[in-house]
Amino acid sequence: MLVKADLHIHTVLSPCGSFEMSPLNIIKRAKELELDVIAITDHNSIFNSFPSKRLGEREGIKVFLGMEAQTLEEVHILTLFDNEKSIKNFYSEVYNYLPELENDPEYFGDQLIVDEEENILKEEKKLLANSLDLSIEELTELVKEYGGYVIPSHIERDRFGLLTNLYKIPDSLKDCVFEVSYNASLNELFKIYPFLKNFPLISNSDSHYLNDMGRAYTQYEVSEISLDKIYSAAKEGRYKVFKR
Q: Name the residue among 80, 89, 98, 88 with its Cα closest to residue 38.
A: 80
| Least Å from the CB of residue 16 to Zn ion | 8
Looking at residues 73 to 92 of the shown chain, list those that interact with Zn ion (rule: CB under 5 A).
76
Q: Smallest gap, in angstroms, from Cβ of residue 67 to Zn ion?
A: 10
124 near Zn ion, judged by CB under 5 A:
no
In whole angstroms, the minimum distance from the beta carbon of 212 to Zn ion comes to 10
Instruction: Give the integer Cα–Cα distance in Å for 210 and 233.
Output: 27
When asked if residue 53 is in the footprint of Zn ion (CB under 5 A), the reply is: no
Compute how many residues bind Zn ion; rule: CB under 5 A: 4
Which CB, 127 or 222, lies closer to Zn ion? 127
User: What's the CA dihedral at 78, 191, 216, 171 to 10 degrees?
Assistant: -20
φ/ψ region of 80 (left if φ > 0, alpha if ψ in -120 to 50, else beta) reads beta
One-letter amino acid at 198 equals N
Residue 190: CB partners within 8 Å, gap ≥ 6?
A: 196, 197
User: Cα 49 to chain center, whole Å?
Assistant: 11
Least distance to Zn ion from the beta carbon of 181, Å?
Answer: 9
Q: Which residue's CB is nearer to Zn ion, number 76 or number 215?
A: 76
Binding range to Zn ion, per CB under 5 A, among 64-72, 80-88, 131-139, 188-196? 64-72
Q: Using CB under 5 A, which of the segments 120-128, 145-153, 191-199, 233-241 binds Zn ion? A: 145-153
Q: Toward Zn ion, which CB reaches closer, 206 or 212?
A: 206
Binding flag, residue 206, Zn ion (CB under 5 A): yes
Each as own residue / partner, the long-range contacts of residues 225-230 (CB below 8 Å, 24 or more positions apart, any chain) are 225/3, 225/36, 225/37, 225/62, 226/82, 227/64, 227/80, 227/81, 227/82, 227/149, 228/82, 230/3, 230/5, 230/37
User: Which CB atom, from 111 or from 222, has the smaller least distance to Zn ion?
Assistant: 111
189 or 222, CB closer to Zn ion? 189
Q: Which helix (H) or strand (E) holds 30?
A: helix 23-32
Residue whose CB is less far from Zn ion, 17 or 56: 17
Residue of minimal Cβ distance to Zn ion: 76
Find the shortest distance in angstroms from Cβ 236 to Zn ion: 25
Nearer to Zn ion, 36 or 206 (CB): 206
To the nearest whole angstrom, how small is the minimum distance from the Cβ of residue 13 to Zn ion?
12
What residue ranges bind Zn ion (CB under 5 A)? 68, 76, 153, 206
